[in-house]
Structure 1
């Protein structure tokens, strides 16, 4: 039986008093023996955490007492052992780096499509208006190589900061199609979808909750392989179970580009 609960969550919301929030979060997490990474920025919060289920749920209940985080949604998965070696609570310029400050998700989201609808569209090969549907992977190339949607567009970017330039180079290829951007848990594809709409791509949606939510609600349909995650589990299968034992892949990329 897997006994460690892993949660991934993010929320774009305007935050102030970041050093005070950092200190309060660190104390709340340490007191519950929770490990993982929390990123704070003026644009919001991004976290990957793991501990006993009771401690994780108690922390999330505490966090949601803040009206700014009241509607924070967390995606859950399990592991046999703690996949994080320590706790990090960091203040960053962005909770997911894009180096494009004009993109402000807290000011309004791009339209989203849920997992069930995307599966139905992919089954049919078109959206509800008959427009061809394509999926666009906004993750790094090494993540794509672990698993992705069948026939997904992959521009082989090595960092998310490379997405804006890749989009501008390939923008015309997307015209006349319904484009669904996706990522691990929703944060990168949310920024990407906003950028695409501002760049003139007309029919753009983000996959709400990313691959992890898709696995939870639609299983492996139209998806080949597994989903890379930025901890020592390395990858999750469509049942949200780790592919390998914790610690077996000590050379996994660090969470500097982590997302939820």
Structure 2
């Protein structure tokens, strides 16, 4: 058993006074000596936290004891070191940025694609009447994806709604969506249904759960994760590297962020080019005055911004004021 665990989870469940909840939840996580990144929105939680098994168990028990989050599905990884350095817990408009904020239009608690457990997904994915759809961004599916999956040219999930028309040719197929942990599929599958796709499914628990329960069979490459591990192994049955070094073309699944913070490009780079390019994606970036020191990992920690409790409710107070006083 390893010394630490990393928990990946999300939960669509309305949170009243979500800004205050974020401030309080940060203090709770810090009291457990957890590190990680949690997004809190009026629509729910999206988090990855890391700490000792005891701290992680206390955290999971606390969320499950809250009726709002009682159905939260935690994906648990055993790790040698915590997967973050700092603890972030921030309020944002959505728990995953999609631009689909109106619950009257898209509400994962009301209608989404049918959830498939990993074994069900594995059994269905190769049928002739099925299309497997990756709803993640370019840098994610370029380093790893299911065999024969349909991928979209998007830099961020908020671009997904713009790509619906490109999928029109698959309207008569069963659409099996997947993402890292399942959170993007909740809104992606709901949007597909709204746009007239009749037979829509989603991989419950995403790639991470599929790797744990189905051995990751037919997932080529590695899975991008949003912590200092950057990518993780998923396929323990028939693994295959599918990505290449941006600089020399050598086969590699090693993904980093460019050392130039104004670029910060996600890209694959072999270890040799990493050292020769000082963690940069191009010669131009190697000469940038703000270039960060390269330590061989290509992972750079953002300093956490403290929650300003004095301004937590300022926006809501303004919204509550009579229009004549504004």
Give TM-score, length-normalised by structure 2.
0.71
Residue-by-residue CA offset, 1:18-61 (whole Å, 9 max, x unaligned): 13312321121111100001111111111100000110111111
Aligned mate of 1:186, from 156, 172, 182:
182
The offset of 1:190, in angstroms, is 1.3
The offset of 1:239, in angstroms, is 6.3
Equivalent residue for 2:290? none
Equivalent residue for 1:161? 158
Structure 2, unaligned runs of 5 or more:
237-252, 255-294, 303-326
- Residue 229 (1) aligns with residue 232 (2): no
Distance 2:2 2:153 in 1: 34
Distance 2:95 2:47 in 1: 9
* Native 8 Å contact 1:43 1:94 kept in 2: yes
- Residue 105 (1) aligns with residue 102 (2): no
Residue-by-residue CA offset, 1:105-163 (whole Å, 9 max, x unaligned): 133333111110111123xx32xxxx611110011101101110001001121100110
Equivalent residue for 1:196? 192
Distance 1:193 1:165 in 2: 14
Say what the alpha-carbon RMSD is for the aligned residues: 2.1
Distance 1:206 1:11 in 2: 15
The offset of 1:248, in angstroms, is 4.3
Equivalent residue for 2:145? 148
Change in CA separation of 1:239 and 1:50 when aligned onto 2, cut-off 3 Å: farther
* Native 8 Å contact 1:40 1:95 kept in 2: yes
* Native 8 Å contact 1:232 1:250 kept in 2: no
* Native 8 Å contact 2:133 2:178 kept in 1: yes
Count residues in correspondence: 244
Change in CA separation of 1:61 and 1:239 when aligned onto 2, cut-off 3 Å: farther
Residue-by-residue CA offset, 1:147-204 (whole Å, 9 max, x unaligned): 1000100112110011011112x13221221111100000001110000010111111
- Residue 249 (1) aligns with residue 297 (2): yes
Secondary structure of the residue aligned to 1:167 is helix
Equivalent residue for 1:2? 2
The offset of 1:253, in angstroms, is 9.7
Secondary structure of the residue aligned to 1:216 is helix
* Native 8 Å contact 1:216 1:239 kept in 2: no
Distance 2:167 2:234 in 1: 31
Distance 1:23 1:64 in 2: 19
Equivalent residue for 2:12? 12
Change in CA separation of 1:253 and 1:192 when aligned onto 2, cut-off 3 Å: farther
Q: Which moved more, 1:170-179 or 1:3-12?
A: 170-179
Structure 1, unaligned runs of 5 or more:
255-260
Distance 1:179 1:253 in 2: 37
